[in-house]
Every structure is written in structure tokens, then in C-alpha cells.
Amino acid sequence: MFLHHLRNRHFLVLDLVLLAVVPTLALALRVEPSSLARFAQGAMIFTVLALLVKLPVFYFFGLYRRYWLYASVDEMITIALAAAVTTMIIAGAFFGGQLTGLVESNALPRSIPLVDGLLTLLVVGGTRFSVRAAHHRRTKRTRGPDTKRVLIVGAGEAGTTIARQIGSNKAIKLEPIGFVDDDREKRGLRIHDVPVLGSRDEIPALVQTYDIQEVIIAMPSAPGKVIRDVVRMCEAAGVPFRTLPAIDDLLSGQVSVSRLRSVDIEDLLRREPVEIDMQAVGDMIAGRRVLVTGAGGSIGSELCRQIIRWEPAQLIVLGHGENSLFVLSNELSHQKAALCCQVVVADVRDRSRLESVFQRCRPQIVFHAAAHKHVPLMEDNIEDAVTNNVLGTRNVVELSEAYDVDRFVSISSDKAVNPVSVMGVTKRAAELVVSEVAGRAGRPYVSVRFGNVLGSRGSVVPLFRQQIANGGPVTVTHPDMTRYFMTIPEAVQLVLQAAALSQGSQVFVLDMGQPIKIVDLARDLIELSGYQVGRDIDIVFTGLRPGEKLFEELFLESEAYQRSPHARIFIARNGHHPAPALPNGGPAATLEQQIDALIEAARRGDADEVRRRLKVLVPEYNPPGAPSPADAERAAPAPPDPATAIIPPAGEVVEATKFSA
């Protein structure tokens, strides 16, 4: 069709011809045919002057520099603005000329400039959008027999964007048949010429009625329960389905067909989007020097991704694994603030190396994410767990104190509560170290405690995926085992918010929602992979491994907790006991002395002595083969001194309560 070959030079010629006719047409609409001759001279002068105004204004608004094949609402707004400006200029000149006597009062009817403006809008917009309409019709006509009929779940911004992209690109072998949306006011409406057919409860019936071949779930901000309901209905209807990533993952704000992917376990567990105080986090980070340890890990790398968006003066990316740091630095190099990023390969156990970094970079905020985290592995490597998790934390927090770091945030774990594992007890010891330094320094040095993060390296979800890819079986330790789960971006956002809220020696606990049964997680992953449990992939229970509990807890028995100003963050208090007595019954030792003895035992490789000292340091530690009750009683700490007890701030405080499955 010839419309597809029109270029801006052709539109200029069309405008010149059609706009020369517009004033005469406006006059014909305004007066009787018999009166046209009387206004002929005035109409001719008006036409020339109108062209002298319209063409330069249209050029100024860029109407001759656009590709009209893909014209959209933005182009229509531009045309309307250009037409309005020309109408105001022409009307001003026309009425001004009449008032000053330069134009005879009866040369033309006074309504001519306004009628001319409306016709100009129709002519200019009509010629250009006819190209867009022709392209749209041609694209729809040429869809081949291999095009899939799709149903779009969600008629919001994401869903309508997907429908528009599908409708405008014949290379996308999809045809949107309809929307489903729970908003009753949208029922029966057409959006981008696609009807809203019903609510999501009607998906199975609509799939049969309209011969739907695929369902697109376009609800990036919907909670996991909604996604689970839609997936269940699609599975019942026997129709494949895809989705958009969660809103946290659409960081650029771009919704695109290219972003469609298979529904993943993260979608089924998705919670309400985290809302943080952007102003407070931005004020904390912008223009400051920020150090992140363990930057190559799952949490550390996501911290770097989010921190760099707030444009710190410098981001010091510190880690021990050069490969992960190399990958992260390449990723961050595409950020606009990447010039502030400095990569440091260092081990947090090497105090002299760390001190040279602090001396050179002078960080103002430190996020300490470096740690050994794999529970069964640390049971067999207790010495390294102590030196990395305890000594490493002490090195970083003490250097933070020495170099006047304003804020320090240590990443802890729910496994630190009533720990039975080496990983958990070393994390609890690290909390005590941070609290000790915070009290001494009088600065907001805090720990943030949360549970498992989905998709982190070595976590259960990647393990299950690998087992499914290998044909099974999927191994679960116990049918009743539960865990708390968060997505990595959600956890990091709340860590940043907790950092902004910190005021002193505190342990922040993130609201993890409801615990998830691991066997349910395994079953969902198998089904999302297109298999059936028992027929294609088996689930095998292998028994608890050393250091594992059936459920995790978020608070100690002795801790009081209350909600912080942020609804998804708790503050735990009263959980830090004083340093215990020495094992030989001698006078009470300082926490520093206890940590020194613990680290010395770890360096000697004396695993039994390490476990004994960990039990003395953290009495609630209950590993296999723990000391007898008499030993624990001799090593028990003295009651806290009321004069030095931490007093919770005003607000509702819940005493000695545990979150558990």
C-alpha cells in the first residue's frame, strides 16, 4: 500500500496542498454558498498568512522529523499542541488586525480562525495516523497459521502494554484473544481492540470457549497467592503459561514481550512489594563512601546493585573470590555511577589488609555480608566457620570503630536464634561482637537477622532445579521441615531501610511472612518444570543433616521485640547477655577475652575446644553432644545488671515470644 512509503517530505507537500484548502473549507462550513464570492479576497489573504504560520510551527514541533509508521499517543499530543499554537497565533493576529483596523471587520467571519484550527488538526493528524492505521491493519492481516491464541491475565498497565506490543509486531507469533481481570468495571470493555472477557476464576472456561493456546500472566506486582491461583487454573485447563518478572526485577520500568518467561518458584512465593522510605535511604547513601564486604555473594552483590543507584561518593566492593568480583564489576560498569566503584580483593580475616583498605578509602557506611553460610559444610569445618564469621566480623566492626564509620550493618541469620548448627552459633557470636562495639562506640552499629533467600548460591531452590534436570529424585530431609523465604531484592531493600532506621546497638529482624514447607517447595518446582510428582519425579526423604532444625525461629526466649517505624521490620532487644564466667570457674571474662580464646582454639584446629567455648559464649547453643546440664550451669552467665540493661523505647513491646513454624 502506498501509505507505507510516505516520508516526511511527502507530508510537507501534503500539508502545503491541504492546508491551502482548509481556510476555504472553513469558510464554506461557516457561510452560505452564495456568499463565498464576497469573502474570496479575505480568504486568500488568510490562507497565505496561515501557511506562513503553520509550516514553521509544525517544523518547530518536529512534525517533519518523525517516523509515522509507529505513531502513538505522544505524536497525537504533539500534533494537537502544534495545531493549538498555530490557532492561537492566527486568531491573535486576525482579531488584533480587526481591532487596529489593519483587517476589515467584514473581510471574514470571526469564527473562521477557530474552524480553521479544528480542520487543521483533523487534516494533519488524519494524514499521519492513516499511515499508522494502515500498518496496524496490514500487520493483523499477515499473521500466519502458526500464531498462538493467547489470553492475558491482568488488564492493567503491564497487560495492556503486552497487548499493544503483540498487536503492533507481526514477528511476534501471538494473537491476543482477550483479557481477564478481577476489576468488574472493565468487564466488556475493549483495550487496544482486545476485549476483557471475565475474571481470573473463569480462566478454565475461557480457555475452552476461545481455544486458547497460551496464558500470559501480566501482573508483576501481584502477590504470590494470586499467581498460585492462576497457575493452578492453567494447569487444570491443560494450557501452558508464562509471566512477567516481579516488579522488583523490572528495574528499568520497561514492560516487554521479550521479558516473558516461565513461571518460577519466586512468583509463587511472591509477597506484597516492599515499600521503603526512599528519601531516608537516599539521604543515608548519596554522596557517602560505602564499603560492602562479601560483595561477590548473593546478598553482597545485590547490596552493591541497589546502593550504586543512590550515587554514593564511592562504593568499595570487597570480597575474597576474584571471579565473582570480576563478574559483579562488569555488571556495575554499565551503571551511571560506576566511576565511583572500587573493587578490592581481600579476606576479612586478614586484619592488616583490611586496615590498609580502611585507611585508604575511609568508608562512612559499612555493610558486612561476608560469611560462611552453608550449614552442613560448616559442621565439618568449624574452625574456618569461627575465623570467618566471628573473627572476620570482629575485624570489620572494630576497624569501623577505629576509623569513625558512621553506620555499620552486619548481615545475620535466623539460624542464630537458639542455634544447633556451627553456622548459626557463629552468627550469634558475631551479633554479640557487633553489639559490644556498638555500646562502646555509641554509634548505630546493628545486625539484621533474616532467613533463607530464594535463588542464592547453594540454597535449596538451585539444588532442587539441578535434581529435576537430572531426572530426580528430589531429596528433602524431612516432610515437616519449614523455612522462611525472601527474595534477594526484598531482603536487601529491607536491610537498607533498617540501616536508615538504626540508632544504636540493635538487632533488626525482618518480617519473613509465613514459613514454607520444603516439601511443598519441591512439589511446586517439579510441577512448574512440567512433571508430576510420583509419576515423573519422586520426592525422597533423607533425614535431618547435622546442624539442621525442623523449623527456624526469629527471636530468642530472652528477647523483647517491637515493630520499628517500618511495618516489615522488627527490633529485638534484651537479647545480649553479659560475658560468661571462665570455664574453670574463675572470675567473669570480658567478651573480648572469650572471643580471643575461641579464635585461638580455632587456629589450633581443636574442634572440641571450639565447640565447648561456643557453648560457653552462647548458652542457648545446643549442638549434638552438647555439654551436660551441670557444665552448662557452671558456665551460665550472671543475671543482667538492671543498671546496664537495654531499655526498649516507647511502644508496644512483646516479651519472650518466638516466631516459629
Rounded to 5 degrees, φ, ψ at 380 are -95, 0
Which residue has 510428582 as its cell numbers? 533
The reply to whether 108 and 183 lie within a common domain is no
Split at pLDDT 50, 70, 90, the class of 257 is low
Question: In degrees to the nearest 10, what's the CA dihedral of 618, 622, 627, 630?
Answer: 80
> Is residue 353 in a domain?
no
| pLDDT tens, position by position, 132-174 | 676 666 655 455 667 888 999 988 888 888 887 787 666 677 8
Q: What is the pLDDT of residue 559?
A: 61
From residue 610, how far is each of 422, 599, 617 by CA, in Å? 10, 8, 10
> Is residue 195 in a domain?
yes
What's the whole-number mean pLDDT along residues 199-224?
87
> Is residue 155 in a domain?
yes
Q: What is the pLDDT of residue 288?
A: 93
Distance, in Å, from the CA atom of 148 to the CA atom of 174, rounded to the nearest integer, reads 5
Which residue has 559444610 as its cell numbers? 377
Residue 353 pLDDT greater than 60, yes or no: yes
The reply to whether 91 and 164 lie within a common domain is no
Residue 657 pLDDT greater than 70, yes or no: no
Higher-pLDDT residue of 389, 526: 389
Split at pLDDT 50, 70, 90, the class of 292 is very high
Name the nearest CA neighbour of 294 among 281, 308, 304: 304
The reply to whether 164 and 226 lie within a common domain is yes
Higher-pLDDT residue of 56, 142: 56
Q: Which of 220, 241, 268 is the last residue of a domain?
A: 268
> Is residue 249 in a domain?
yes
Contact between 212 and 177 under an 8 Å Cβ cutoff? The reply is yes
Active-site residue, 415 included = yes
- Residue type at 256 in one-letter notation: S
Residue 548 pLDDT greater than 80, yes or no: no
Q: What is the pLDDT of residue 651?
A: 37
Expressed as residue numbers, the domain containing 11 is 2-141
SS3 content of the chain, % helix, strand, coil (to 5): 50, 15, 35
Q: What is the pLDDT of residue 354?
A: 95
The reply to whether 15 and 135 lie within a common domain is yes
| SS3 state at 487 | strand
Higher-pLDDT residue of 145, 544: 544
Q: What is the pLDDT of residue 638?
A: 37
User: Of 290-304, 373-387, 481-495, 620-634, where does mean pLDDT reach its minimum?
Assistant: 620-634
Q: Ranked by mean pLDDT, which of 470-474, 526-530, 634-638, 651-655 comes out on top?
A: 470-474
Q: What is the pLDDT of residue 6?
A: 63
Residue 635 pLDDT greater than 60, yes or no: no
From residue 159, how far is each of 137, 196, 350 by CA, in Å? 21, 11, 52
Q: Which of 141, 170, 200 is the last residue of a domain?
A: 141
Residue in 373, 415, 549, 615 annotated catalytic? 415
- Per DSSP, the residues of 87-134 read HHHHHHHHHHHHHHTSS-TTSS-TTHHHHHHHHHHHHHHHHHHHHHHH
What's the whole-number mean pLDDT along residues 451-455?
75
Name the nearest CA neighbour of 496 among 405, 439, 436, 566: 566
| pLDDT tens, position by position, 359-403 | 999 999 999 999 998 888 899 899 999 999 999 999 999 999 999
Q: What is the pLDDT of residue 151?
A: 92
User: Of 39-43, 214-218, 608-612, 642-646, where does mean pLDDT reach its minimum?
Assistant: 642-646
Q: What is the pLDDT of residue 261?
A: 67
The reply to whether 121 and 170 lie within a common domain is no
Q: Which of 103, 121, 141 is the last residue of a domain?
A: 141
Higher-pLDDT residue of 632, 164: 164
| Model confidence pTM above 0.95 | no
Q: What is the pLDDT of residue 349?
A: 95
The reply to whether 172 and 74 lie within a common domain is no
The reply to whether 104 and 169 lie within a common domain is no
Domain CATH code at residue 262: 3.40.50.720
What's the whole-number mean pLDDT along residues 255-272?
64
Higher-pLDDT residue of 477, 23: 477
The reply to whether 64 and 168 lie within a common domain is no
What's the whole-number mean pLDDT along residues 588-609?
87
Q: What is the pLDDT of residue 2?
A: 54
> Is residue 218 in a domain?
yes
Split at pLDDT 50, 70, 90, the class of 586 is very low
Rounded to 5 degrees, φ, ψ at 627 are -55, 155
The reply to whether 94 and 220 lie within a common domain is no
- Per DSSP, the residues of 353-386 read HHHHHHHHH--SEEEE------HHHHHT-HHHHI
What's the whole-number mean pLDDT along residues 204-209?
91
From residue 257, how far is each of 97, 221, 244 by CA, in Å? 56, 17, 8
Q: What is the pLDDT of residue 650?
A: 32
- Could you tell me whether strands 261-262 and 445-449 are parallel, antiparallel, or unpaired per DSSP bridges? unpaired
| pLDDT tens, position by position, 495-507 | 998 888 888 777 8
- 382: which residues sit within 8 A by CB, 6+ positions away? 422, 602, 607, 610, 611
> Could you give the number of structural domains in the chain?
2
The reply to whether 234 and 156 lie within a common domain is yes
What's the whole-number mean pLDDT along residues 169-197?
83
Name the nearest CA neighbour of 14 among 28, 3, 25, 27: 3
User: Of 131-140, 284-293, 412-421, where does mean pLDDT reach its minimum?
Assistant: 131-140
Q: What is the pLDDT of residue 455?
A: 65
Distance, in Å, from the CA atom of 299 to the CA atom of 153, rounded to the nearest integer, reads 32
Residue 422 pLDDT greater than 90, yes or no: yes
> Is residue 230 in a domain?
yes
- Residue type at 186 in one-letter notation: K
User: Of 9-13, 75-79, 264-268, 353-357, where does mean pLDDT reach its minimum?
Assistant: 264-268
| pLDDT tens, position by position, 310-328 | 889 999 999 998 899 999 9
User: Of 51-65, 122-136, 223-237, 592-606, where does mean pLDDT reach its minimum?
Assistant: 122-136
The reply to whether 184 and 59 lie within a common domain is no
Split at pLDDT 50, 70, 90, the class of 14 is confident
Q: What is the pLDDT of residue 45?
A: 79
- Residue type at 365 in one-letter notation: I
| pLDDT tens, position by position, 77-130 | 888 888 888 888 888 887 787 777 676 666 677 778 888 888 888 888 777 777
C-alpha cell at 104: 476589515
CA gyration radius for the chain? Answer: 34
Residue 474 pLDDT greater than 60, yes or no: yes
| pLDDT tens, position by position, 391-415 | 999 999 999 999 999 999 999 988 8
The reply to whether 127 and 14 lie within a common domain is yes
> Is residue 67 in a domain?
yes
How high does pLDDT run on average in the chain? 79
> Is residue 248 in a domain?
yes
Q: What is the pLDDT of residue 278?
A: 82
